[in-house]
Amino acid sequence: MQVKREERYSLRLQVNGKRYEEQVEPRKLLSDFLREDCGLTGTHVGCEHGVCGACTVLVDGRAVRSCLILAIQAEGADITTVEGLAQGGKPHPLQEAFSECHALQCGFCTPGILMSSVEFLQTHADPGKEEIADMLSGHLCRCTGYKGIVEAVQQVADRRKEGEKHESGDPVSICSRTAPTV
C-alpha cells in the first residue's frame, strides 16, 4: 500500500464502538485524528512527544500514547477514548472513584490517566500502591500531587475485590472504605 504525501487516505477504524471513515494525510497523528476528525476532544494533547501522558487512549485494549502513533498506522484498530468509558449515562467506576477521592483538579491529565488505569486494573487483580505509582509514572499531573489518584485507583480495585467476596457469600460491606484522610 502506498500513499503520496499530498494524497488523502480513506482511513477506517472504530472508536468507542462506532465506525469511522475519514480522509487523512499520512502525517496526521492519531491524537489529532481523534480530536479533529472524530470530534472527540476528551483526549487531551499536552507535550506531543510522549512524555506527559495526557493523550493516552486504548488501542486494541492497550494503553498507548495517541501522539506517538500516526492515524494511518491505526487502520482497522478498535480504539477506546475517555468518551467511551461511561455506559448508559452512568459513569465508569473509575470516574466515580476519581470524583469521590478528589483525584482531579484542573482535569487536563485525567482522561489519559483514566485510560491507563482501565488497562492497569484489567491486568492487576490486587495492585499495591507501588504498582499504581509505577503505572502513573507515565503521566504528569501538576495539581493533585498524585495522592488522590493513587487512592481512587486503589478504591476501585478494593471494591472490585470486596464485590467478589460479597458475591461468594462473605458479608463485607461494598462501601467500607471511607473518604481519604489527608
Partner 1 sequence: MKPAAFDYLRPSTVEEACQYLQEYGEEGKLIAGGQSLVPILNMRLSTPECLIDISGLEELKYIREEGDWLHIGALTRQRDVERSALVREKTPLLAEALPYIGHMQTRNRGTFGGSLVHADPTAEIPLSLLALQAAVVIQSAEETREVNVEDFFITYLTTDLMPNEMLREVKIPTGSIPKGYSFQEYSRKHGDFALVAAACVLDVDEQERIASVRLTLGGVDAVPVLAREVEGLILGEKLTDSLLLEAGRAAAADIDPEGDLHASREYRLHLAEVFAARVLETAYHRAVLGKGSAT
**Residue closer to partner 1 (CB basis): 6 or 167:** 6
Asked if 88 and 32 touch (Cβ cutoff 8 Å), the reply is no
Residue of the chain from 81, 110, 116, 117 that contacts partner 1 (CB under 8 A): 116
Q: List 49's β-bridge partners, or say none.
A: none
DSSP assignment, residue 153? H
Is the Cβ of residue 98 or residue 120 nearer to partner 1 in the bound state?
120
CB of residue 75 vs partner 1: minimum separation in angstroms?
A: 8
DSSP 68-123: GSBGGGGTT-EEE-GGGT-BTTBPPHHHHHHHHTT--SS-SSHHHHHHHHHHHHHH
Q: What angle do CA 133, 119, 109 make, to 5 degrees?
A: 60
Which CB sits closer to partner 1, 27 or 142?
Answer: 27
Tell the smallest beta-carbon distance from residue 168 to partner 1 (Å).
29
Tell me which residues in 26-85 interact with partner 1 (CB under 8 A): 26-29, 32, 48-50, 53, 56, 59, 62-65, 67-70, 72-73
Q: DSSP character for 9?
A: E
Long-range contacts of 160-169 (CB under 8 A, 24+ apart): 160/93, 160/121, 161/125, 161/126
Site string for partner 1, 130-149 (x = CB under 8 A): ----xx-xx-----------
Calpha distance 34→83 (Å, rounded): 11
Q: Closest by alpha carbon to 177, among 161, 129, 87, 132?
A: 161
Shortest spacing between CB 90 and partner 1, in angstroms: 27
Q: Restricting to residues 142-181, which ones interact with partner 1 according to CB under 8 A?
A: none
Query: Which CB, 52 or 97, lies closer to partner 1?
Result: 52
Site for partner 1 in 3-32 (CB under 8 A): 3-6, 9, 25-29, 32
Q: Which residues bind partner 1 (CB under 8 A)?
A: 1-6, 9, 25-29, 32, 48-50, 53, 56, 59, 62-65, 67-70, 72-73, 116, 119-120, 134-135, 137-138
